Structures are given as C-alpha cells and as structure tokens.
Structure 1
Amino acid sequence: MIFESINKYTEPNQRERVQAKWESFLPLKNLITVSVDAPERHRGAGHRHDPEQSLFMGEQEASPGFVSGKILTGMWHVTLSLHAIVTESCRYTLQIHQEEE
C-alpha cells in the first residue's frame, strides 16, 4: 500500500528517495479530522492520529487547533473529514457535552 501511494502521489524524480525511507511511514494510522463551527464562526480543527482524543473548547482555553471564546447558544456543526482510513475497520464515537462553569 505504501509503495502504491508513493508511486501515485510522488513526483517521478522524487520516488526513489521517498521509497528508500518507506519504513518512516510505519505504522500506518487512520487520520480523521474534527472541525467545529460555532453559530458565529469557525472554531478550529484537530488533525490527529491518536486513537482516542479528548478535545475541549472553553471561554479561556481550547485544545491545540481550536479557538477559545464564549460558548454561544445556537446550532453548532461538527464535521468529520476522513483523510486516511488504512485499517481493515474503523469505528468512531463522537460524544459532546457541556460542563457548567
């Protein structure tokens, strides 16, 4: 799978150099990006390979890639972008909760 991708997505003059270090791509991991849009604006995205993630946004702090700020009432949108699913199966559970300060 790695050599197939290198041949497909690498410029011909760079293939040999990239193929020589193919092991640096191991272990292959899924990449699902979580993007969050609040009622008033985009609040960020998290691009992580970690199998379990705990992301947060608050008025004063937020996880890397996200913007802190007031948590407004209204319609929020969460988008999952599947960039690389390389395992035989992939399960994803999204839990959203609000903590009162």
Structure 2
Amino acid sequence: MLQAWKLWNEGRPLELMNITIDDSSAFSEILRYIQVGLLCVQQRPDDRPNMSTVVVMLSSEISLPQPKQPGFYTERNFPEPETSSSSIRSASKNDISFTVFEPR
C-alpha cells in the first residue's frame, strides 16, 4: 500500500495497474478499488470505513472521500545504539500486541 499511497498522491494511481488491461471502461473501476483500499488503511480507525460501507462503496457509484495518510506510512526514528563495550543495548523496540479470539 505504500506504493499505492505514493502514486495516489502524485496523481498516478493507474501505474499500479497491469499494463495488459486494455479495457478503458475498467479504469474508473480500478481507481475506485485503489481509493477504497487506501480508505481502509487510514491511520485513524475512525476514518476507516466499516465492511458494510466498503460493500456499498464497491457496488455503487457514490462519491468517495479522499483518503488520508495510511497508518503504516509514518516513519520511526530509533536511537542509535551505543558503541561502548560496557553498555550493550538493543536498537529495536517490539511494540507488538497479541489478542486471542475465542468463540462465545
């Protein structure tokens, strides 16, 4: 999606398409798919459409909001590790959470 976001911002989203597609009527449909995909990965969860809204977006001609910056696009700056032999620290930070889903 990073490439899709970059091309979308540059006004070149059709470059994501397979160049062998020669059906010009499919271009607007493909642009819609790209736009909906970008809407689904926005940084703030409140900005993302729910699945029923996604179905409506994909199956109708309603106008779509412009996507905002994807959540994965923000850059992180990690501190440089110290090179002293007396102080060895890891430069990575694990921010992973794990949720177990169980049936009711």
* TM-score between both structures, scaled by the size of structure 2: 0.24
Greater C-alpha Rg: 2
The higher relative CO (CA closer than 8 Å, separation ≥ 6) is in: 1
* TM-score between both structures, scaled by the size of structure 1: 0.24
